[in-house]
Structures are given as structure tokens and as C-alpha cells.
């Protein structure tokens, strides 16, 4: 993460080598709907229906703003050359045992942005932000068992597998196997964002 504008008086802006990350807002609804309605993206997100309508996207974005105000989530629009290409977020921020704080990492990207290491770059910035802003000690994540791209990215970020379970997927209209992952902040380091790494998609709106 090259620079950060982050203070109590305004929303954060994260800047990496190639990306700018700002908080998602209701005005992003059409673009969010467009990306998540792509079958190769939306089917990996179990909490949404396909296609993902603009009103549903707008409702999620409004709720995301409330989560930010309450200190429960930070959902970032990922911009490349001024164009929204995906989302990376830390959500479910909450205290856990021994006075530690936990959050959950999520991400999804437009297919033309895959294979360039952009998801890795954005996720690294958001993880570091979560530690600095919220004092997160532990981060969890999940992805569908057949989502090899997201699993590869999570391993590259330092996550380890914790469990495998069956959950209901609205986007696929049936049960799917889901893999759980965990990362401790002691393991958060800058990974190598290799151009050949396809980010895939992971967590969902309203999950």
C-alpha cells in the first residue's frame, strides 16, 4: 500500500501501485449489478440471485455505508484508471475471545481484470488497513470448493484452510461445498502479485 488517506473526519482512500480503493457508494449500483450478474462472477457468490438487479445492489450499498458508520465493515470499490473493476472488503468486524478483534475478507472482480495480480494487490492493501484502522488480529475468509482461483489467492495472502462444509447457494440454487480459511495478523505481509494469478471471486454482498 503506497499511501492512505485515513482519518476520523473522512472516508479512507487507499492507493497501491496500480489501484485506488475508495468506499463503495450507492452511485456504484449499476456497475456492481453489471459485474455480479456475469455468471462466472455471480455463481461464486452464494448469497445473491442471478442476475443481480440494480435495486438489490443499491440496497446492499446503502447497508454497506451503515456498516462503515458503525465500525462493522469497510467495503472498497477497486478502481483502475478510474474504472470500477471490483470490490475488496473487510466485514463482520467484531471482538472475539481474549480481547482480540476478527474480520472477514471478501473480494470479487470483473473478468477482464483477472490474471493481472490486481486482486492480490487490493487485498493486501485492505488487510493492512484492517489492522491499522480496526486493530484486527484475525481474518477469516470462505470460498466455494470449486473456486480454485480464490483459494490460490488466499493461500498467497497467507491464509490457511480451517474447515469444509456444505452451505446453500442462492446463485446456484442448491447446496455447495465451501472451504473456510483463517489468517492471523502476524502473517500479514506483502505477497507477490504475480501477473499469472487469476483472482476469481469470493465473498458476497449481504453474506
Whether residue 165 lies inside any domain: the answer is yes
Please give the share of the chain, as a percent, with pLDDT higher than 90: 81
Backbone conformation region of residue 71, classed left if phi is above 0, alpha if psi is from -120 to 50, else beta: left
Compute the average pLDDT of residues 100-128: 96
- β-partners of residue 175 are 168
Whether residue 93 lies inside any domain: the answer is yes
Q: pLDDT band at 203, cuts 50/70/90?
A: very low
Spatial distance between the Cα atoms of 74 and 61, rounded to a whole number of angstroms = 11
Spatial distance between the Cα atoms of 76 and 86, rounded to a whole number of angstroms = 9
Please give the share of the chain, as a percent, with pLDDT higher than 70: 86
pLDDT at 166: 97
**Residue 158 structural domain:** 3-187
Q: pLDDT band at 205, cuts 50/70/90?
A: very low
Spatial distance between the Cα atoms of 19 and 2, rounded to a whole number of angstroms = 10
Residue 97: give its domain's CATH number. Answer: 3.40.630.30
Whether residue 67 lies inside any domain: the answer is yes
Whether residue 199 lies inside any domain: the answer is no
Q: What is the pLDDT of residues 31-90, one digit of tens each?
A: 999 999 999 999 999 999 999 999 999 999 999 999 999 999 999 999 999 999 999 999
Choose between 79 and 190: higher pLDDT.
79
Whether residue 37 lies inside any domain: the answer is yes
Whether residue 192 lies inside any domain: the answer is no
Whether residue 94 lies inside any domain: the answer is yes
Whether residue 207 lies inside any domain: the answer is no
Question: Which helix (H) or strand (E) element contains residue 58?
Answer: helix 54-69
Count: domains in the chain: 1
Amino acid at each position: 500500500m503506497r499511501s492512505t488517506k485515513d482519518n476520523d473526519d473522512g472516508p479512507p482512500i487507499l492507493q497501491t501501485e496500480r489501484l485506488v480503493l475508495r468506499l463503495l457508494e450507492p452511485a456504484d449500483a449499476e456497475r456492481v449489478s453489471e459485474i455480479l450478474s456475469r455468471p462466472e462472477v455471480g455463481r461464486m457468490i452464494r448469497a445473491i440471485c442471478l442476475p443481480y438487479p440494480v435495486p438489490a445492489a443499491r440496497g446492499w450499498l446503502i447497508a454497506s455505508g451503515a456498516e462503515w458508520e458503525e465500525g462493522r465493515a469497510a467495503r472498497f470499490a477497486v478502481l483502475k484508471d478510474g474504472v470500477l473493476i471490483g470490490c475488496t472488503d473487510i466485514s463482520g468486524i467484531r471482538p472475539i475471545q481474549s480481547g482480540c478483534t476478527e474480520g472477514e475478507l471478501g473480494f470479487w472482480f470483473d473478468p477482464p481484470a483477472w490474471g493481472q495480480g490486481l486482486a492480490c494487490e487490493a487485498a493486501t492493501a485492505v488487510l493492512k488497513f484492517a489492522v491499522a484502522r480496526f486493530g484486527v488480529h484475525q481474518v477469516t475468509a470462505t470460498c466455494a470448493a470449486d473456486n480454485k482461483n480464490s483459494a490460490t489467492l488466499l493461500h498467497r495472502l497467507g491464509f490457511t484452510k480451517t474447515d469444509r462444509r456444505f452451505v446453500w447457494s442462492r446463485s446456484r440454487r442448491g447446496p455447495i461445498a465451501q472451504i473456510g480459511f483463517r489468517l492471523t495478523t502476524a502473517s500479514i505481509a506483502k505477497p507477490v502479485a504475480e501477473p499469472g494469478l487469476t483472482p476469481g471471486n469470493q465473498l458476497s454482498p449481504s453474506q
